[in-house]
Structure 1
Amino acid sequence: MPGGRLTQQDRQRIAAGLSDGLSYAEIARRLDRSTSTISREIGRNGGPGGYRSQQAHQATVQRARRGTPAPPRAATVPGGAMEEEIVELAVRSGMPRMTARVHVDLLLSEDGRRTATELTRRLKVSPASVSVAVNFLVQQGYVRRERDARRRRDIYVVDDEAWYHSVVISARQTLESARAAMTGAETAGLDTPVGQRLARCGAFLERVTLDMMESADRWRTLLT
């Protein structure tokens, strides 16, 4: 894999990749660089939400002229390298990047609580982006919404029980798919290849999902 310093064109491609929601690993692959190189570049130049190719290139040139090291990532990215790694894991599992950033910021907060204004300010994104992300997280059970009636604002909370609720909600959604497959099997006819295929799929998903829900209930006490 080639080494050398990143060029201005490389940085433009990094910015474009972030805008497209690509993971650090995918950006690295497209530039034929190591993932750690991309992670360091983004971390020292504003993080995934604040990376700008032109500013990053100018800052790098200035640092080279001064002969001074780049500021530590923890000073520019909330949560530092640990946050970046958790976000990347969430993105690889299928979660949208902005949603992952909001979720991780809540997870790493001292009391697991943030207002929309706090999330907007910390992540340097628009209120609309935060709204879309938290709505998804609430729907999936990762976060719950509390109302501060005195200040007329919502507070988003992530606690240990959130893990139980997110597992149960996901399982219920899979169970709906399983039962839809079984209904489709009956419609197609259980004596047809399509019907038999759908029936096997539905039975498998139903059994696994029910086992998962039973396990979540059995081990829920570990969260209390």
Structure 2
Amino acid sequence: MTQQDRQRIAAGLADGLSYAEIARRLDRPTSTISREVGRNGGPGGYRPQHAHRATTQRARRGTPAPSRPAGTADGTAGTEIIELAVRTGLPRMTARVHVDLLLAEDGRRTAAELTRRLKVSPASVSVAVNYLVQHGFVRRERDPQRRRDVYVVDDQAWYHSIVISTQHTLESARAALAAAEASGSDTPVGQRLARAGVFLERVSLDMRESADRWRSLLA
């Protein structure tokens, strides 16, 4: 990786881009960007000149990159979960915030705590938690005494995230069925959309019914 590549990575991090987006712009694998940033200070401490020098020195010495500390979302306990979440399409920063909340003993953190622990900007945390709240993975509570938001993940979050996800799928299914009717049930397009709509509708309703049936396991 060239020094110019590293400068572009730093610019992307400053703009709040995900690792996947930075990788796309550099035409490199996302894992390459993740390793580069992780071994050179993390998203909040990445400096392209320092990273370039450190990589050159490591190559000369043959010394492996320092490991991340345990007990944070990027420690051993959370790294594999983060990678799995990223593979499913979750933005890396969002995955890091989610896993850090999951690893919190009481499942609660403030934005300031997340910013400090993950060494990222408040804006990055804000984008991540907004995504998590919108998709039901996390809920937002207000601390009236200190006038700040607290982000909470508990067992019921899994139920709520499934409900929201299935609702979105159900809306897509009904949109497909409406488009099928508009296209005509006797046309190839209409038939294709109708089949997709029925499939998505049945799957989403089955998932919602299953979530309701097994919700007691989370109590």
TM (normalized to structure 2)?
Answer: 0.80
Match of 1:81 in 2: 76
Deviations 1:137-176 (A, max 9, x none): 1110000011111111110000111011101100001001
1:154 aligns with 2:149: yes
Note the 1:101-140 alignment, pairs <5 A: 101-140=96-135
The CA distance in 2 between the partners of 1:65 and 1:194, in whole Å, is 61
Report the 3-state secondary structure (helix = DSSP H, G, I; strand = E; otherwise coil) of the residue aligned with 1:74: coil
Check the 8 A contact 1:178/1:201 in 2, yes or no.
yes
CA 1:77–1:68 in structure 2 vs 1: closer, same or farther (change >3 Å)? farther
Unmatched tracts of structure 1, length 5 or more: 1-5
2:161 to 157, 160, 166: 166
After TM superposition, the structure 1 stretch with the greater mean CA deviation from structure 2, 122-131 or 51-60, is 51-60
CA 1:180–1:61 in structure 2 vs 1: closer, same or farther (change >3 Å)? closer
The CA distance in 2 between the partners of 1:51 and 1:158, in whole Å, is 29
Check the 8 A contact 1:46/1:77 in 2, yes or no.
no
TM (normalized to structure 1)?
Answer: 0.78
1:142 aligns with 2:137: yes
Match of 2:171 in 1: 176
Post-superposition offset of 1:63: 6.5
Post-superposition offset of 1:118: 1.1
The CA distance in 1 between the partners of 2:192 and 2:64, in whole Å, is 60
Post-superposition offset of 1:129: 2.0
Match of 1:21 in 2: 18
The CA distance in 1 between the partners of 2:135 and 2:212, in whole Å, is 17
The CA distance in 2 between the partners of 1:66 and 1:184, in whole Å, is 62
CA 1:161–1:7 in structure 2 vs 1: closer, same or farther (change >3 Å)? same
The count of corresponding residues between Structure 1 and Structure 2 is: 215
Deviations 1:54-108 (A, max 9, x none): 2223345567889987543217965413323322222221112221221111111
Note the 1:178-193 alignment, pairs <5 A: 178-193=173-188
Provide the aligned C-alpha RMSD in A: 3.4
Report the 3-state secondary structure (helix = DSSP H, G, I; strand = E; otherwise coil) of the residue aligned with 2:69: helix
Deviations 1:18-40 (A, max 9, x none): 775345xx79xx679xx6x8766
1:90 to 85, 94, 117: 85
Q: Percent identity?
A: 74
Question: 2:132 is matched by which residue type in structure 1?
Answer: L
1:100 to 73, 84, 95: 95
The CA distance in 1 between the partners of 2:215 and 2:19, in whole Å, is 35
Unmatched tracts of structure 2, length 5 or more: none
